[in-house]
Amino acid sequence: MSNVPPVGVPVCYRHPGRETYVRCTRCERPICPDCMNEASVGHQCPECVAEGRRTQRPARTAFGAARGAGAAGYATIALVVVNVVVLLLSVLSAKSSGTALAGGQGFGGLIGGDTPLLDRFGVLGQCQLTNGQVVPCGVASGEYHRLFTAMFLHFGVIHLLMNMWALWILGRPLEAMFGSLRFLAIYLVCGLGGNVAAYVFQPGALSAGASTAIFGLFAVLFVALRRLKLSTAGVVPIIVLNLIFTISVPGISIAGHLGGFLAGAVVGAGVAYAPQRSRTAVQTATLLATVAVLGLLTVWQTGQLAG
């Protein structure tokens, strides 16, 4: 017997030897059971399903990120890894690894001591010479990279663990809300804001740590929850406790923490409340404008210290 269907009987356009009376609801070509893809109405052929996937706009969060794109927390994980690696390098650069990890004078001796890497890449704008004279140095001498590198350096393992725990708690939900790239940009701008504040208000104190960025993330989370009309009752007490801790514990960069928080509030408002039609443009402009203002403050402070 011949496998060719009788003349006039519709056959699957992909399998000419198979009779079928089912047609794709989009292109109306005949399709056999192996080629059927169930749709909301009827069935579709493989080509129409593929075309629909290409043209369908992905679901997005209220802040413009593809839904589920940042759920894995890759940016948060990468930041944690970088901070851990930098601490190891900092410890290796010290003459005494034990003192670099812990045994410093801050936080009851639990915070680590100074290291050559901290001296080279931490935020610092003034140095005191052996004769007592205070002179511009570090950032004030043109080493502007310190404002960026300082957010990845820590004074010992306790300092690192406290910041990385906070980053892990805050980073994952925020990355899921904003997406990995937006979250990373927000983190870096918040950290930069805190470090610029430390340079402006405490130029003679060596400061470093991810807490400038983390305080910014607290502010961003608060703004994001307000934008989503969700309760902030669980966030406000934590923010207040951290602010009290910042002010009451000696050796903490108050300017750095408050500067990061303020930068986070500004950036969070611009990114979270950006109108949908021009969301990406407004979010990008907010981040760039914040960086520009921080740059102007840095230049102004450098002129003040040099004068």
Quickly count: other Cβ atoms within 10 Å of residue 297's Cβ. Answer: 16
What is the reported pTM?
0.80
Question: How much is the average pLDDT of 225-251?
Answer: 91
The string over 4-16, giving b where at least 16 C-beta atoms fall within 10 Å of a residue's C-beta and e elsewhere, is eeeeeeebbbeee
Topology, domain 74-306: Rhomboid-like fold (1.20.1540)
Query: Which of 11-25, 104-118, 155-169, 247-261 is predicted with the least confidence, judged by mean pLDDT?
Result: 104-118
Output the pLDDT for position 276. 87
3-state helix, strand, coil in the chain (%, to 5): 60, 5, 35
The C-alpha atoms of residue 99 and residue 77 are separated, in whole angstroms, by: 27
User: Which residues, 6+ apart, have CB-to-CB distance to 235 below 8 Å?
Assistant: 218, 221, 222, 225
Residue 5 per-residue DSSP state: P
Straight-line distance from the first to the last Cα atom of the chain, in angstroms, rounded to the nearest whole number: 101
3-state secondary structure 128-167: ECCCCCEEECHHHHCCCCHHHHHHHCCCHHHHHHHHHHHH
**Secondary structure (3-state) at 270:** helix
pLDDT at 109: 45
Residue of 163, 177, 153 lying closest to 73 (CA atoms): 177
Q: Evaluate if residue 204 carries a pLDDT over 70.
A: yes
Beta-carbon contacts of residue 46 (< 8 Å; ≥ 6 apart): 14, 35, 37
Q: Which among 54, 4, 56, 52 is positioned nearest to 24, based on CA atoms?
A: 52
List 60's β-bridge partners, or say none: 66
pLDDT of res. 7: 58
From-to residues of CATH 1.20.1540.10 in the chain = 74-306
